[in-house]
Amino acid sequence: MMINFLENEEIILEKRRHWFVILTEGISLFLAMILLPVAIAVMNSFVEVAGYFITNHLLFIVFMVAVWWQFLWMMFFVAWTNYYLDVLIITNKRVIDIEQLGLFARDMVEVRLERIQDIKIEVKGIVASLLKFGDIYIQTAGESREVIIRHIADPQEIREAISKYCDELINKTNNHG
């Protein structure tokens, strides 16, 4: 998806979701990866019938573990792609939020600065507070719903940048009109 910039539009800030988001997804997939071999080893040690089956069907079990790992690797690839392609771009005229919904689906929300009425940030929990990430809610004029940007790094910096350029736009409008 190509972004068409407006005349005299400059990129002020470009942010992605916080790295902690992909780290937690990666850790959960890693735990799922080791779960199957550990379960097989435990069953082999403690359940006599399972030990007999495992010994006689070792190649099948190794194949199934490899299939499981391949499936988890693909899930990680999709998660990484979604993480990497989700981006928030703040320009001197607009806020553009691009969210990858899957491998072949993308959602792009564009909000002009003059339409922004309110910006709220929400940081939930001690981890989010320490690592400085959270959610941003942008309420716009004339729309019934707000734009929500989740798990973004440095939400305070983003709010300050948007507010600064909104104020500049208002001052420019008041001075010219």
pLDDT, averaged across the chain: 89
CATH number belonging to domain 11-18+87-176 = 2.30.29
Residue 120: pLDDT over 80: yes
Residue 12 pLDDT class (50, 70, 90 cuts)? very high
- Percent of the chain scored above 70 by pLDDT? 95
In whole angstroms, how far apart are CA 24 and each of 18, 31, 80, 102, 130? 11, 11, 11, 18, 16
Q: Write down the pTM of the prediction.
A: 0.81
So where are the chain's domains? 11-18+87-176, 22-82
Identify the pLDDT of residue 29. 96
pLDDT in tens, 54-92: 778 888 888 999 999 999 999 999 999 999 999 999 999
